[in-house]
Structure 1
């Protein structure tokens, strides 16, 4: 049984479901979010995340990151999920995934890159002192299959695809460096599938029957992937069922 789990972006649909899953398993859960936990449990520890939107100097948050790393050592965290990601701002038609290149804009590109690449990298870099020193630690970064360049057959969603492709490359590159310091660590990108959430809500209409999963179902699948992870898989982009997705 794992000693403790850190969920970054725990207030998201998948993050919250993962937190509840591991609490039900008897594990300690560190809930990291800008928003308060909607779960009351003696083994749940809530950590207030900084608001990083629009910020350009990560050094301002060194005290937060040092405190977070200390908490990971204290609780002997062996599993980390980073669930941070962004696809749209439904009420604003200019902040929806592009169907055509004519719909791309500076605002959309920058927001998509910031929330799908910059913020995940902030946490990966900040937790590096823990990842490089903790035997057997597993770090799963939620990403997306649409970030696979070789799998792109229908086009569209320029900004989101590009941000996730960049994130997958970042995880792959970081896994190579991490292996030099900690051969037992595992760092992967993970496509969670299509989950019934605010993120996917505008795009559920034409989904094939059975493709849409509840957050609880997704959490079960992702927890199983985490359980089966091996060091030789570090750097891969994995599907929700554990299959390897090509870059």
Structure 2
């Protein structure tokens, strides 16, 4: 029996992997992205919603309005599984900080804007639907380096802090959601190290066998989603479904 799947951040490496995986399974897929739909993904059972900027508003209002519009359209399909796939670590001007002395306000603001604020706005837009949809499952991509308990290496200040923040946002949101819908599952998930632009500069240091293709990561995440129940809600899960410490 086919399902309706919503992939938010469908233009990312893992997002595209998830879109492709579920299409291959025969599911109906909706994707929200700032990017145009890749030609390789154009199929009749894919609804690709590209975000468009809105003029005449403050930047913050425009951001929330376009997100609300895209989510409202996507929810017409009544998705049972929803992935939120935003993530940013570095660009040509900013790499992950090796020392606190490298931290800048600009880098921290960008990290929180993409890794925390955008997923938060999507959860806000989805919330009314999530309170009513029976056994709905939401998986927000996070990172193991956002675990405060697991942090033994230090460094990567902005990224670690933003991922710890998104884990707390998911946990707090899951508590409120559970008051309205005891069948819902809302979790954050570490997808594992995947061969995408985010990990590209650091792949030389990855032990053999740990780097996964986007297709392999998507398959693993889909398996986690398939096993999710309301008892998992609020947890930070590893790519294999095991529970990670906050």
Give the structure-2-normalised TM-score. 0.94
Change (3 A) 1:244 1:64: closer
For residues 226 and 96 of structure 2, what CA distance do their matches in structure 1 show? 33
Q: Which runs of 5+ in 2 are unaligned?
A: none
Contact 1:69 / 1:130 at 8 angstroms: preserved in 2?
no
State the match for 1:33 in structure 2.
33
For residues 61 and 165 of structure 1, what CA distance do their matches in structure 2 show? 23
For residues 154 and 189 of structure 2, what CA distance do their matches in structure 1 show? 21
State the match for 1:244 in structure 2.
243
For residues 140 and 193 of structure 1, what CA distance do their matches in structure 2 show? 14
For residues 161 and 115 of structure 1, what CA distance do their matches in structure 2 show? 13
| Partner-residue secondary structure (3-state), 1:205 | helix
Contact 2:53 / 2:63 at 8 angstroms: preserved in 1?
no
State the match for 1:80 in structure 2.
82
State the match for 2:177 in structure 1.
178
State the match for 1:22 in structure 2.
22
1:46-79 CA distances to partner (integer Å, 9 max, x unpaired)?
Answer: 1122559xx653476447515623531x312101
State the match for 1:42 in structure 2.
44
RMSD: 1.6
Q: Which runs of 5+ in 1 are unaligned?
A: none
For residues 176 and 2 of structure 2, what CA distance do their matches in structure 1 show? 25
Equivalences, count: 241
Change (3 A) 1:99 1:213: same
State the match for 1:142 in structure 2.
141
- Find runs of 4+ consecutive structure 1 residues off by over 6 angstroms: none
For residues 64 and 118 of structure 1, what CA distance do their matches in structure 2 show? 12
For residues 29 and 158 of structure 1, what CA distance do their matches in structure 2 show? 35
State the match for 1:190 in structure 2.
189
Q: Residues 227-238 of structure 1 correspond to what in structure 2 (within 5 A)? A: 227-238=226-237
Give the structure-1-normalised TM-score. 0.93
Residue 221 of structure 1: CA displacement? 0.3
